[in-house]
Amino acid sequence: MSLLCFGVLVFSILTSSSYAKRSQLIQLRDENWRDCLTGEWLIKFYAPWCPACKDNEPQFEEFSTWSDDLGIKVATVDITEELGLSGRFMVTALPTFYHAIDGEFRRYNGDRSSDSMHTYIEQKTWQNHEIISWMRHPDSFGMTLMSWLFKTSVIMKNIHESLMEDYGLSLWMSYAVFGIGTVITGLVLGFILVCIVDVVFPQQQRPNKSAPARPKEVRKESGDGDGRKMEDYDSQSDEQDWETIKDKEIQGSDGTELYRRKPTADKEIPVEQDISTRKGGKDD
């Protein structure tokens, strides 16, 4: 009889001790998730409807009884209630385990048994695993936006259900309301963005600059009064690009003067040239 009483006493002590340790299991929420940025944690993401999560529940609770001995904190996240954390940690499969130590996060992909997790923490085998990149860090800007996106989807879902159940709208009417709301929201956000750009980067009016007038051709009289100097290069080139073809160069010519274009000379043609000099003194 005494042995039976002793056995019952030992069993009750072990049971109460185990229960006390399991009560230390922390439930992370959107309000307190930043607590896992300090210290060492092992976090499990689960859903009540997930069969694999239910099968792992006894093993994870058993592992949580070693949290004080290992000097870590064991936590769980219900993604059906904390969808924002699901997006922040990019949970794509269930259950998902993360090991966190002083703000460094690693994905735990080992065996889900209590002994394997105990070895993973006690022997620090997590040091052999790669830290998740800064882009996927839960506290990064991108993951924060992802969290807000997941939260927005939940809000939209609740509004959709409210329109159908509380206001009696049909499915397509609810979709129409969301479509109109999306267009109006886009217009408002675009208007706000334009106003911000105008304030930050105001437009500066540039003075209208008229095109400069082309200088008129200047005719200068020569010193001897026999001719004038012209600055029109086109007229000079027209007079200099043609030469007379002699009769000897044309077979059967009857004496008619023909002209052909001169080959372009490599030398530079002066812009100003005395007309009397070009004509070879014909005025005399």
- Report whether pLDDT(40) > 50: yes
pLDDT one-digit tens code per residue, 158-168 = 888 888 888 88
- Report whether pLDDT(70) > 70: yes
CA geometry: angle 211, 212, 218, nearest 5 deg: 145
Q: 36 catalytic, yes or no?
A: no
Residue 214 confidence (pLDDT): 55
Question: Which position among 5, 36, 53, 195 bears the catalytic label?
Answer: 53
Q: Which residues, at least 6 apart from 215, have a Cβ–Cβ distance to it below 8 Å?
A: none
- Report whether pLDDT(49) > 70: yes
pLDDT band at 190 (very low <50, low <70, confident <90, very high): very high
- Report whether pLDDT(66) > 60: yes
CATH architecture of the domain with residue range 21-133? 3-Layer(aba) Sandwich (3.40)
Q: Answer whether 43's CB lies under 8 Å from 76's CB.
A: yes
Residue 222 confidence (pLDDT): 45
pLDDT one-digit tens code per residue, 112-148 = 999 999 999 999 999 999 999 999 999 999 999 988 8
CA geometry: angle 144, 150, 152, nearest 5 deg: 105
> What's the token pair of residue 19?
């229960």
CA geometry: angle 40, 96, 135, nearest 5 deg: 70
pLDDT one-digit tens code per residue, 198-229 = 888 887 766 665 555 555 544 444 444 444 44
Question: Once rounded to an integer, what is the mean pLDDT over residues 226-252?
Answer: 50
Residue 203 confidence (pLDDT): 76
Neighbours of 88 (CB within 10 A): 26
Beta strand ranges found along the chain (DSSP E): 26-27, 40-46, 73-78, 96-101, 104-108, 220-221, 228-230, 242-245, 258-261, 273-274
Question: Once rounded to an integer, what is the mean pLDDT over residues 79-87?
Answer: 90
Which is more confident, 54 or 20?
54
> What's the token pair of residue 133?
């990149």
pTM over 0.75: no
> What's the token pair of residue 185?
């929201």
Give the mean pLDDT of the chain: 75
Question: Which candidate, 265, 263, 33, places its Cα nearest to that of 144?
Answer: 33
Give the Cα separation of 230 and 233 in Å (integer). 8
pLDDT one-digit tens code per residue, 260-273 = 555 555 444 444 44
Q: Where are the domains of the chain?
A: 21-133, 142-200
pLDDT band at 25 (very low <50, low <70, confident <90, very high): confident
Give the Cα separation of 89 and 60 in Å (integer). 20
Residue 7 confidence (pLDDT): 52
> What's the token pair of residue 102?
């002083």
